Structure 1
Amino acid sequence: MPPKSAHHALQLEHERERDATQGFEPKGTFGFIRYLEHGFPSSLVRWHYHDEYELHLTLESSGKVFVGDYIGQFAPGHLVLTGPRVPHNWVSIDTPEEGVELRDMVIQFAHAPLETLAGVIPEVKSILPLLHRALHGIEFFNISAQAHERFMRIRDSTGLPRFIEFLTLLGELARSSDYQLLSTIPMQSTDDDAALARISSAINFIVQNYASQFSMKELAQQLDMPERMFSRFFRSATGNSFTDFVNRLRVNKACELLMETERYVTNICYDAGFNNVANFNRRFLELKGMTPKAFRQQAQGRFGA
Structure 2
Amino acid sequence: MNLTRARVPELERDFQRGADLGYEPEGTFGSVRCLSHGFPNPLVRWHYHDEYELHLIVRTRGKAFVGDYIGHFEPGHLVLTGPRLPHNWISSDVPAEGVAERDVVLQFHDEPLRRAAEQLRELADVLPLLERARHGIEFFGMSERTAGRLERIKASRGLRRFTEFLSCLGELAECTDYRLLSSMPLQSFDDEPSQARVSSIVDYITENAGSPLSMAEVSARAGMSESQFSRFFRRATGNTFTDFVNRVRVTRACQLLMDTDQYITNVCYDAGFNNVANFNRRFLEIKGMTPKEFRRQAEARFGSGR
- The CA distance in 2 between the partners of 1:141 and 1:74, in whole Å, is 12
Q: Is the 1:250–1:272 contact (alpha carbons within 8 Å) kept by the matching residues of 2? A: no
1:204 aligns with 2:258: yes
Look up the match of 1:48: 47
AA matched with 2:20: T
Which secondary structure state, in structure 1, belongs to the residue aligned with residue 182 of structure 2?
Answer: coil
- The CA distance in 1 between the partners of 2:40 and 2:166, in whole Å, is 31
Q: Is the 2:56–2:76 contact (alpha carbons within 8 Å) kept by the matching residues of 1? A: yes
- The CA distance in 1 between the partners of 2:285 and 2:90, in whole Å, is 17
Look up the match of 1:30: 29
Call closer, same or farther: CA 1:132–1:201 in 2, change over 3 Å.
closer
1:247 aligns with 2:246: no
Q: Is the 1:51–1:110 contact (alpha carbons within 8 Å) kept by the matching residues of 2? A: yes
Matches within 5 A, 1:4-153: 4-6=4-6, 8-153=7-152
Kindly, what percent of the aligned residue pairs are identical? 48
AA matched with 1:110: H
AA matched with 1:214: Y
Deviation (angstroms), 1:203: 3.9
Query: Superposition RMSD on alpha carbons, in Å?
Result: 3.4
Which secondary structure state, in structure 2, belongs to the residue aligned with residue 160 of structure 1?
Answer: helix
Look up the match of 1:214: 263
Which secondary structure state, in structure 1, belongs to the residue aligned with residue 85 of structure 2?
Answer: coil
AA matched with 2:118: G
Q: Is the 2:52–2:80 contact (alpha carbons within 8 Å) kept by the matching residues of 1? A: yes
- The CA distance in 1 between the partners of 2:35 and 2:112, in whole Å, is 20
Length-normalised TM-score, structure 2: 0.65
Length-normalised TM-score, structure 1: 0.65
Deviation (angstroms), 1:215: 3.0
AA matched with 2:33: R
- For residues 201-240 of structure 1, the C-alpha deviation after alignment (integer angstroms, 9 at most, x for no partner) is 944367xx8xxx93343x7xxxxxxx97x547x9xxxxxx
Greater relative contact order (Cα 8 A, min sep 6): structure 1 or 2? 2
Q: Is the 2:68–2:255 contact (alpha carbons within 8 Å) kept by the matching residues of 1? A: no
- For residues 248-283 of structure 1, the C-alpha deviation after alignment (integer angstroms, 9 at most, x for no partner) is 5996458xxxxxxxxxxxxxx9x9489xxxxxxxxx
1:172 aligns with 2:226: no
Look up the match of 1:283: none
Call closer, same or farther: CA 1:245–1:205 in 2, change over 3 Å.
farther
Deviation (angstroms), 1:45: 1.8
- The CA distance in 2 between the partners of 1:103 and 1:273, in whole Å, is 26
- For residues 118-138 of structure 1, the C-alpha deviation after alignment (integer angstroms, 9 at most, x for no partner) is 111111110000000101100
Q: Is the 1:2–1:201 contact (alpha carbons within 8 Å) kept by the matching residues of 2? A: no
Look up the match of 1:262: none
Call closer, same or farther: CA 1:203–1:45 in 2, change over 3 Å.
farther
Which secondary structure state, in structure 2, belongs to the residue aligned with residue 107 of structure 1?
Answer: strand
- The CA distance in 2 between the partners of 1:100 and 1:21, in whole Å, is 15
Q: Is the 1:9–1:201 contact (alpha carbons within 8 Å) kept by the matching residues of 2? A: no
Q: Is the 1:71–1:252 contact (alpha carbons within 8 Å) kept by the matching residues of 2? A: no
Deviation (angstroms), 1:41: 1.5
Question: Unpaired runs of 5+ in structure 2?
Answer: 187-252, 296-306
- The CA distance in 2 between the partners of 1:19 and 1:177, in whole Å, is 36
Aligned length: 225
After TM superposition, which residue ranges in structure 1, 4 or more long, deviate above 2 angstroms?
1-6, 199-206, 213-217, 242-254, 271-274
Look up the match of 2:162: 163
- For residues 111-165 of structure 1, the C-alpha deviation after alignment (integer angstroms, 9 at most, x for no partner) is 0000011111111110000000101100001111000000001111111100000
